[in-house]
A and B are shown apart, each in its own frame.
Chain A
Amino acid sequence: DVKVTQSSRYLVKRTGEKVFLECVQDMDHENMFWYRQDPGLGLRLIYFSYDVKMKEKGDIPEGYSVSREKKERFSLILESASTNQTSMYLCASSFGGARGETQYFGPGTRLLVL
């Protein structure tokens, strides 16, 4: 079974703090993704990565950065957290190319920025 784990289920941070969200997958997937999910807006892609040290902006990258130093780990960084970044953050992974038709999701991190 594919397993995608996220470092925290719940996180409370203060405005201006630097926040790290970690995601690890154990299936040797090439692709990894970070989404945020907000009521009425569905899932929106923040960043994705097709390979180690590679990253591509998604639809809403502003205020976020990412790091992929190892194939199994994809980190989302909020450089200076703001209240409008309060959200549910979902990490996903998939194989690359034609095998990448299915994404596997972690359990999510619910972040509250005060």
Chain B
Amino acid sequence: SQQGEEDPQALSIQEGENATMNCSYKTSINNLQWYRQNSGRGLVHLILIRSNEREKHSGRLRVTLDTSKKSSSLLITASRAADTASYFCATAPTGNQFYFGTGTSLTVIP
């Protein structure tokens, strides 16, 4: 069963702008993670936020988590053309089995 669902499905912005994508999930979680996938490649882990955290930063990435709404957002500030990729949220309700969403496809136009 699919846990996470990203929104929007696709996003196109100009270089230098901020990109925000959202993730909604269905059940309680231990943590939520965001991954990035360049076209035709495997996924790369970006950032993890635990269920008792509300916000986390890593470089140009900012992740928020609202467990009451079962939602998370990923903000990429000052986007670059190299940020063009698909972004997935993943939740781990229990153990080490993850559930991935369908992803947001981000295009950053130079």
Contact A100/B40 with A40-B102, A42-B88 known, Cβ cut-off 8 Å: no
Q: Do A105 and B42 touch (CB < 8 A)?
A: yes
Contact of A102 among B1, B40, B48, B88 (CB under 8 A): B48
Tell me how far the C-beta of A99 lies from the nearest C-beta in chain B, rounded to whole angstroms. 9
Number of interface residues of B (CB under 8 A): 23
Q: Do B96 and A43 touch (CB < 8 A)?
A: no
Chain B minimum-CB-distance residue to A103: B98
Q: Do A107 and B102 touch (CB < 8 A)?
A: no
- B43 CB within 8 Å of chain A: yes
User: Residues on B close to A: CB < 8 A?
Assistant: 1-2, 31, 33, 35, 40-45, 48, 88, 90, 92, 96-103
User: Residues on A close to B: CB < 8 A?
Assistant: 4, 31, 33, 35, 40-45, 48, 50, 58-59, 88, 90, 92, 94, 96-97, 100-108, 110
Q: When A and B form their complex, which 7 residue pairs have the shortest distance between CB atoms, in order from nearest?
A: A105-B42, A42-B102, A100-B96, A43-B100, A105-B43, A102-B45, A107-B42
* 25 A–B contacts, CB within 8 A, in A order: A4-B42, A35-B100, A40-B102, A41-B102, A42-B2, A42-B88, A42-B100, A43-B88, A45-B99, A50-B96, A59-B1, A88-B40, A90-B42, A92-B43, A94-B96, A96-B96, A97-B96, A101-B33, A101-B96, A102-B48, A103-B90, A105-B35, A105-B44, A106-B42, A107-B41
